[in-house]
Structure 1
Amino acid sequence: MTSYQEIAVSVASLIMLSSATAMAQGIEPVAEPPAAKGWKLETVADDLPQPWGMSWLADGRMLVTGKKGTLHLVEGKRVQEVALEGLPSLFTSGQGGLLDIAVHPADKGPNPRIYMTMASGTQEENRTVLVQGVFDGKRVHGIKTLFTASPAKSGGQHFGSRIVFLKDGTLLMSIGDGGNPPARVGNMLARDQAQNVGSHNGAILRLTAEGKAAPGNPLAGQKGALPELWSIGHRNIQGMVLDPNGRVWASEHGPRGGDEINVIEGGKNYGWPLQSYGLDYQTREPIGKRVVAGMVQPLVVWTPSTGASGLAWYTGSAFPAWRGSLFSGGLATEDIRRVAFDAGGKVVKQERLDIGKRVRDVRQGPDGHLYAITDEARGSLLRIVPQ
C-alpha cells in the first residue's frame, strides 16, 4: 500500500476521534499559512471564457465549462469550442451560469455521458439544475434535464455546485443555500433553508446516474424530508472531491470569514447557519455558535475567507511530500491552500501556493499533476510542476 493510501485509510478510521475532540472545543481559524516551496506554474492554455469546471475524458483530453454557457475541449495547448445542443435556458446573473462538469467514470469509449450543473430561471425565480448529454467528439447532444432543485429562489447568489461520482455509481451534487439576508425563500431567510429537510437548498444530494433519488439515502426516512438529501447544513459548497479510500471532502464558503473544509458523511448536519465561524455581512455579528451539539465540526477554518473553490486530493509522484494532501483553490486569496494530515487524520500543516489570480477550480489530472483554472473573463488553465 502506498503512503497516500495509508494516510487515507487512517483518516477514514480515526476521523471520528478528531471530530469528537473538535466538538468539545471548536476549531481555531487560520489566516494565512506560510508559502509552499519547490513548485512553479506552467500555462497549458489561455483565453478560456470565464471557466468554471473541468473534467477529463478517458483519452486524456479535457472539457472545461464556461460560465456564460460555453464548453471547450482542451487537447495539448489547443482549445476548441464544443457545441451544446439542447442546453436549457441559463440564468447568468451574479454567481449563476454553467457550472460544474463530470464525465461518467464508467464511459471509457466514444460517446461518453457528460453531466453538468447550471443555474436556470429568472431573477425572480431560479434554481440549480443537473443536465446530461452525450459527447460525440465534436458536440454534446441530446442534453436533457435530470434534476431540478426545489424550492426556487431569487437573485444571483449561492447555487453551489459541484458533482462527485461515488464508487457505487451514484453521484453527489452540492446545492447552495440560496443567498445572504435579506434574501428570503418563502417565509424564511434563504440561509435557513440549509436546516430545512423539505428543501434541497443548503444540502448535498445523492442521485442515481439518471437523476433520481439514490436508494438508501440516510435522511429519506425523516418526516417531511426530501428523498435526495445526503447531508444538510451547508452554505455554499464549491469544492468537492473523493479520496482513494472513498471519503468525500468539501470546501465551503463562509460569510465574512469561516470558510471550511469538511469530511462529508451521509445523514450528518454540518450546522449552517446554527453553527458557523463567520459574521453576518450586514450586522457583522457572529452567525450562530461555533459549537452546536449534534452538528459536525469542520477540520479546517479559514478567516479571512479564501473564497474556497475547487478541491483536489493529491496522489501524484511529482511531489512525494504532498501525497495524501488536500488542495483548495482560493478566489479571494488568489492562491491554492495545501492541507496535510498525520496518520491519525489530524491537520498537521498548511501552506499556500500563491497563484496571483482568482482560482476557480483545482483538480488532479490523469497524468498525476495538479491543474487549476482562473476565474477571469478570459481565464487560464495552469499546471503545477516541480521547480
Structure 2
Amino acid sequence: MVFRGITIILLLALNSVAQAQSIQPTTGKVRVETMAEGLKTPWSFGFLPSGGVLITERGGKLRRLDTNGILHSVSGAPKVQAKGQGGLLDVLVPRDFRKTRQVFLTYSKKQRGGAGTAVARAVLSSDGNRLRDLRTIFEMSPGSSGGRHFGSRLVEARDGTLFVTIGERGDRPSAQDLNRHNGSIIRISKNGGVPSDNPFVGQPGARPEIWSYGHRNPQGAALDANGRLWAVEHGAKGGDEINRIRKAANFGWPVISYGLHYSGQKIGEGARKQGMQQPAYYWDPSIAPSGMVIYSGKLWPAWKGHFFVGSLKFDYISRLSGSSLREVEKIKSARTKRVRDVREASDGSIWFLSEDRGALYRMSPSR
C-alpha cells in the first residue's frame, strides 16, 4: 500500500535573503531563511567546518558560500560532460577535512563511448577559493552513451570508505551485470582503492568496487544513526524506492519493480522475486526523489530517525517515519521547487536546495 502524506503549506517570504518567516508544521513553528540565491541549476552542497558551504552547479561550477552570505567561485573543478542529467554533481566534505582539506566530487566524465560517473579528490585552498591536486580516483566502466541516470551521491561510511551511487545510464539490463558498474552502489577507499572486504573481490566477471546492484538511478543516500546505508532511487512510471542497502544484495531492477515503463508496459517479472530485495518504502505515482537526510533529532527531537527526501516532480520535501516506513508529511511551499538536495547541519538545522529557484534554504525552530 502507498501512503499519501498530509500537505503542509509553508507561507514563506520571497523578496529578501535576510527575511524569514515562521511556519507551523505538526511539530511546532519552523523558521525558514534564504541563505543563497542566484545559483544556476544547483545539485548538491556540503558544510565546511568553518561555517561555509560548498555548492555544486550542474553546468560545472563549484561555489562557496561564506559566513557573511557571499557567494564565491571556486576554481579548479573537474571538466565535466554537461549533457542531459550529467555535469558537476555531488560534493562531500569528509570528517577529516580539518586535517587534510580534501573534498570529493562526483561528475559526468567524458569517456570513450560517451560519459560515465566519476569521483574526483582535491585539496581546497586555505582561502577556500580554489581546488588543487585534483585527481580522478574512480570512473565507471565501460562508458555509456546518452545523458541519463548518473546516480552520483557520495556518502562517507563510518570506517572512512566512500559509497558512491551509480545509475544504469538508461541501459536497463546492465544493472544485473556484475561486470559493469551500471546500476550499482560501489564502495572505495579515499584514494580510489578497493577495500578487501568488498563482496565481489576476487570473483571472476565481477567489478570489485560493487557493494550492491540492481539499481535504476539512486540519487539520494545517507547513513542512519547506526551507520547503516540507505538509498532512494528513481523508478520509471511509479516505483520510486527507499532501500536499506546491504552488502552483495540485488535490488531487482529491471527484473522487479512496483512501477511500469513509461509506455505503460509491465516491467520485468512483477514486483517480487526470490533473491531480490524489497524496498522499505515506495511511491506510486513517482515523486522523482533526490537528496535525502536521516535526521538526528538535535533540534526537533520528535523527528529523530525520520527521513527527509526531496521531490523534483511534485516540489516538496517528504518526511517519512515508522518501523514500517511511511510518508507522514509533505513539506511544500513556493520555495520547494524541484528540491535537489536535503542535508542536516552540525547544529541540527535542515538545509535544502531548490533547483528551480536557484537557492539554498535553512530550516530551524522558530523561537
Select the residue among 257, 276, 287 that pairs with 2:257.
276
Would the aligned equivalents of 2:36 and 2:71 in 1 still touch at CA under 8 Å?
A: no
1:253 equivalent in alignment to 2:234: yes
The 5 A counterparts of 1:165-180 are 165-179=156-170
- Report the counterpart of residue 19 of structure 1 in structure 2: none
- Report the counterpart of residue 17 of structure 2 in structure 1: none
- Report the counterpart of residue 382 of structure 1 in structure 2: 361
Question: How far does residue 287 in structure 1 lie from its aligned partner after superposition?
Answer: 4.2
The 5 A counterparts of 1:221-232 are 221-232=202-213
Select the residue among 198, 201, 226 that pairs with 2:182.
201
1:30 equivalent in alignment to 2:11: no
1:135 equivalent in alignment to 2:114: no
Would the aligned equivalents of 1:241 and 1:249 in 2 still touch at CA under 8 Å?
A: yes
Give distance in 2, aligned partners of 1:150 and 1:52.
Answer: 23
| Helix, strand or coil at the partner of 1:174 | strand
Give distance in 1, aligned partners of 2:340 and 2:360.
Answer: 10
| Helix, strand or coil at the partner of 1:238 | strand
Would the aligned equivalents of 1:30 and 1:301 in 2 still touch at CA under 8 Å?
A: no
Would the aligned equivalents of 2:63 and 2:73 in 1 still touch at CA under 8 Å?
A: yes
- Report the counterpart of residue 330 of structure 2 in structure 1: 352
Question: How far does residue 151 in structure 1 lie from its aligned partner after superposition?
Answer: 1.3
Q: Deviations over 1:261-303 (max 9, x none)?
A: 1111111111111111111113443443111111111011011
1:107 equivalent in alignment to 2:87: no
Would the aligned equivalents of 1:176 and 1:201 in 2 still touch at CA under 8 Å?
A: yes
Select the residue among 125, 142, 153 that pairs with 2:114.
125
- Report the counterpart of residue 293 of structure 1 in structure 2: 274
Question: How far does residue 32 in structure 1 lie from its aligned partner after superposition?
Answer: 4.8
| Helix, strand or coil at the partner of 1:224 | coil
Give distance in 2, aligned partners of 1:32 and 1:204.
Answer: 29
Select the residue among 185, 196, 201 that pairs with 1:215.
196
Would the aligned equivalents of 2:97 and 2:103 in 1 still touch at CA under 8 Å?
A: no
Give distance in 1, aligned partners of 2:86 and 2:192.
Answer: 21
Would the aligned equivalents of 1:333 and 1:358 in 2 still touch at CA under 8 Å?
A: yes
- Report the counterpart of residue 139 of structure 2 in structure 1: 148
Question: How far does residue 139 in structure 1 lie from its aligned partner after superposition?
Answer: 0.9
- Report the counterpart of residue 265 of structure 1 in structure 2: 246
1:67 equivalent in alignment to 2:58: yes
Question: How far does residue 31 in structure 1 lie from its aligned partner after superposition?
Answer: 4.5
Would the aligned equivalents of 1:72 and 1:79 in 2 still touch at CA under 8 Å?
A: no
- Opposite residue 141 of structure 1, the aligned amino acid is R
Would the aligned equivalents of 1:70 and 1:82 in 2 still touch at CA under 8 Å?
A: yes
Question: How far does residue 122 in structure 1 lie from its aligned partner after superposition?
Answer: 6.8
Q: Deviations over 1:154-207 (max 9, x none)?
A: 11100011000111111000000011xxxxxxxxxx111110000001000000
Give distance in 1, aligned partners of 2:307 and 2:270.
Answer: 27
Structure 2: where are the runs of 5+ without partners? Answer: 9-24
- Report the counterpart of residue 15 of structure 2 in structure 1: none
- The structure with the greater share of residues assigned to helix is 1
- Opposite residue 128 of structure 1, the aligned amino acid is T
Q: Deviations over 1:132-153 (max 9, x none)?
A: 1100122111211111101111
Distance 1:303 1:83, change over 3 A: same
Distance 1:94 1:349, change over 3 A: closer
Give distance in 2, aligned partners of 1:349 and 1:93.
Answer: 33
- Report the counterpart of residue 11 of structure 2 in structure 1: none
Question: How far does residue 53 in structure 1 lie from its aligned partner after superposition?
Answer: 0.9
Distance 1:29 1:220, change over 3 A: farther
Give distance in 2, aligned partners of 1:263 and 1:313.
Answer: 12
Give distance in 1, aligned partners of 2:191 and 2:358.
Answer: 32
- Opposite residue 132 of structure 1, the aligned amino acid is R
The 5 A counterparts of 1:301-316 are 301-316=282-297
Structure 1 stretch displaced more, 365-374 or 37-46: 37-46
TM-score by length of 1: 0.84
Distance 1:348 1:284, change over 3 A: closer
Question: How far does residue 374 in structure 1 lie from its aligned partner after superposition?
Answer: 0.8
Give distance in 2, aligned partners of 1:244 and 1:117.
Answer: 25
Would the aligned equivalents of 1:217 and 1:228 in 2 still touch at CA under 8 Å?
A: yes
- Report the counterpart of residue 69 of structure 2 in structure 1: 78
| Helix, strand or coil at the partner of 1:194 | helix
- Report the counterpart of residue 94 of structure 1 in structure 2: 84
- What is the total number of aligned residue pairs between the two structures? 344
Report percent identity of matched pairs.
39
